[in-house]
Amino acid sequence: MQQIVRLQDGSNLKLDIWDTGGQERFRALLQMYYREAQAAIICYDVNREKSLESCEYWVNQLKTHEEQCLLYLVGNKSDMHSAERTLSAAKVEAFAVANGMTWFETSAKTGENVNRLFDRLATEVAAKLQGKAALSA
């Protein structure tokens, strides 16, 4: 999927979005998806500790093969009541900090924070690309 995000300065940034769904059958093709990626969103279910543990594989892959890739840890299903959650925010935050990731919680159901996530990602990628352009000029 492609998404065009309008930045605060009025310019546009086109994002190419690939969703592997975290499925093992895509692992052999993974490098094709993230080659030269400027950013990656790694998602987990806010109510499933195992899904956060699965994120470690993807983080290690990206850090090994795309060292300059910006990493975003995104908890989905933020619309769930906190009393229903089994995964603590402190544990997730510690994982994000330890891996140099920006952490968001979103809800695909309600759309909560989805635009905010992509706005932040696009702004940071644009700044990163401008920095590269300035270094090569």
pLDDT in tens, 9-57: 888 888 888 777 666 666 677 677 678 889 999 999 999 999 999 899 8
Domain limits, the chain: 69-137
At residue 124, the pLDDT reads: 94
pLDDT in tens, 57-116: 889 989 998 899 999 999 999 988 777 778 888 999 999 999 999 999 999 999 999 999
**pTM, whole model, 2 decimals?**
0.86
Beta carbons of 39 and 100 less than 8 angstroms apart: no
Angle, vertex CA 45, rays to CA 40 and CA 50, nearest 5: 100
d(CA 80, CA 86): 11
Architecture of domain 69-137: 3-Layer(aba) Sandwich (3.40)
For the chain, first and last CA: distance in Å? 32
Quick check: 137 pLDDT over 70?
Answer: no
The alpha carbon dihedral of 66, 135, 100, 49 has a sign of: negative
At 134, is the pLDDT very low, low, confident or very high (cuts 50, 70, 90)?
low
